[in-house]
Structure 1
């Protein structure tokens, strides 16, 4: 068990101290590893201060890292243009919880680490990410559930296959009409729509699905519906089943795509910035199953030094059912160039590390090398693998995006108009059930 005391908090005072700190972090980090190094459990101590406690747990339990030179990531040009056009008019509300004046692009492109509200601003940048602004449809992906098992063959407990993991944004659109705001936003106040359906495997869950709506109103919770073909029933879910801020446990859609809860349901504390290892130029797609940790992760994969912002997110106890929350807090590690979190650690009520989520990303103009449809005029980030670990039980779920055994290879369709609002209805979810 990893205690909360293993966390490092970085504090800087003044511009001069900030510059010195950044320089020190870079020197210290690069002194630990260099391109060409291969990190295994035997030399894991080299990266202990260069990854989160959750990632370090995985390295000590068999996940191999190949250290490679760092490379630059550019935003999609339409997102960059929208940031330049609209960001100057964006500000936080007086209570620092919500946004005023946001249209499209990144809300706060200039991050001042001495700003008392820097944590809130980083997390609002996380809401409106460059990785996807309009719509996305991930078709046919696989998740395998097993235990972290160093040095042993993979023993799959459950193999999950899903038809669609899709989303539609109504605000901040930069590539597909209607832009920059869908007119439906003024009628419904919906910020985005999400759909996960139909489940194709295992057989006992075949046809199940989930629809979720996020609203812009700070105090309006999400609307979520599930479909169970066995009972032939659409069920409306209580918000406490969806959010780590209100009590979610193993079923946790707030961590399906990084850290993605309703922003106003958390309080944020900026812990600092640091050079750390992450995967943003993944070599493989589909990802490879790690043979040295029982198949619990993707390895070996290319890890490079990245500049990270670290923010602690604590559930706001004054909202909803946050008094029942199981996670005491969450530490988010945000890549300051990609603006997606390569890993997120969650701590239990005793302050011990409980669960970690790791994301493997690739930067290219197509999700797979042999793509014939999902091809873009510029490079963009694709999440090609994600994993969730309960470090206290050793339970793991490793997802392959695209899947290793799927009927369609391309899988990721981002900002291509692949889904519209009609996809995110209970009628469409029920109809799609095989």
Structure 2
């Protein structure tokens, strides 16, 4: 009940109305950074605010479900803008004015480098597609991606961490480059990607080499089959295959990996504010601790080795990170 409205509605009964209001409502408050949202307090604080946003409005349906049903804990941090390479910003300003979207082919025409569509109107019937192309072509990775060591943690939700796999991912951009010429080669290839396992021994060496074209043509991909000691060419549908026996698909690499025109279409539903993991604990994309630390054998497969995964609390796969308000687009595909 809103105290101000009650007092205005009945001046003669203001004292009684004020007493009733104080006894039956909780005044919302602004939460400080560092507050942890958990199933123990979510009902008590969901009407409070953080950076001016109501907590209940920042939680998506599935995020709230994970808090209530799967022990997800959300530690709040003050938001910071995402910093971009000045060369990326300059490329966007220089080249985006000549980029077009063809709704018939669902392809982008005229992209050279940077973000293809920096100003997307929500009234544009092709807004959803343009935003996905921004993610696909305009993802600010620079001239190459090099994850020289990353891990898949294979977790049982009842018992915890079961296995760890070590992998390497290297992607060399052939177009959209920000250093030197924007294109290497004849312009037909968008990128070349090498993905392979290094641990444990039974999968060490298993991997793929992928050539991605800047066209609707499906990727050329080859795999090294360790048990056969042979290289085999994969089918064009391998972009939806799982990686190394995990639940992650090739299309999940870097969150979105497939060419947008391979999908039937996209619809922009709107924009909203959510809580997201956008920075590490030290902020600005840097951290005083690693996401994967070198530890003694006695501390292997613990949170000391993988500090950003809550390996102590069931279901053992929740992120151990800080969350901040971010405005995002909502789309359907």
Distance apart, 1:51 and its partner CA: 4.0
Match of 2:192 in 1: 193
Establish whether residue 170 from structure 1 lines up as the match of residue 167 from structure 2: no
Q: Shift of the alpha carbon at 1:190?
A: 1.6
- Mapped contact 2:238–2:250 kept (Cα < 8 A): no
Which one has more relative contact order, counting CA pairs under 8 Å at least 6 apart? Answer: 1
The structure with more radius of gyration: 2
TM-score, normalised relative to structure 2: 0.74
**Alpha-carbon separation, structure 1, partners of 2:151 and 2:133:** 30
Q: Where does residue 158 of structure 1 map in the other structure? A: 163
Partner of 2:208: 210
Decide which of 292, 296, 306 is 2:317's aligned counterpart: 296
Q: 1:108 to 1:33 in 2, by over 3 A?
A: farther
Question: Which residue of structure 2 lines up, in the alignment, with residue 140 of structure 1?
Answer: 149
Taking the aligned partners of 1:75 and 1:228, their CA distance within structure 2 comes to 39
Contact 1:87 1:108 in 2 (8 A): yes
The answer to whether the aligner puts 1:237 opposite 2:237 as a matched pair is: no
Contact 1:271-1:311 within 8 A present in 2 as well: yes
- Counting only pairs closer than 5 Å after superposition, residues 42-53 of structure 1 correspond to structure 2 as 42-44=40-42, 46=46, 49-53=57-61
CA contact (8 A) 1:75 1:130 kept: no
Describe the SS at the equivalent of 1:305. Answer: strand
Equivalent residues of 1:242, 1:253 under 8 A apart:
yes
Shift of 1:147: 2.4
CA shift, 1:171, in A, is: 1.2
The answer to whether structure 1 residue 263 and structure 2 residue 274 are counterparts is no
1:2-32 superposed Cα distances (whole Å, 9 cap, x missing partner) = xxxxxxxxxxxxxxxxxxxxxxxxxxxx989
Greater alpha carbon shift after TM alignment, 251-260 vs 165-174 = 251-260
Count of matched residue pairs? 268
Alignment partner, residue 75 of structure 2: 66
Give the drift of 1:117: 0.7
Among 266, 290, 305, the alignment partner of 2:325 is 305
For residues 242 and 96 of structure 1, do their structure 2 counterparts lie closer, same or farther at Cα, with a shift above 3 Å needed?
closer
Structure 2 unmatched runs, 5+: 1-27, 47-54, 282-288, 292-306
| Aligned twin of 2:223 | 226
Q: Is the 8 A contact 1:63 1:293 kept in 2?
A: no
Could you tell me how far apart the structure 2 residues matched to 1:76 and 1:84 are?
13
1:49–1:238 distance in 2 versus 1, CA, 3 Å = farther
Aligned counterparts of 1:132 and 1:48: Cα–Cα separation in 2: 33
Structure 1 residues 44, 128: CA separation in 2 closer, same or farther (over 3 Å shift)?
Answer: farther
CA contact (8 A) 1:242 1:251 kept: no
Unaligned runs of 5+ residues in structure 1 are 1-29, 314-434
Note if contact 1:63-1:292 (Cα within 8 Å) is conserved in structure 2: no
Determine if contact 1:96/1:117 at 8 Å carries over to the other structure.
no
Give the SS at the match of 2:40.
Answer: helix
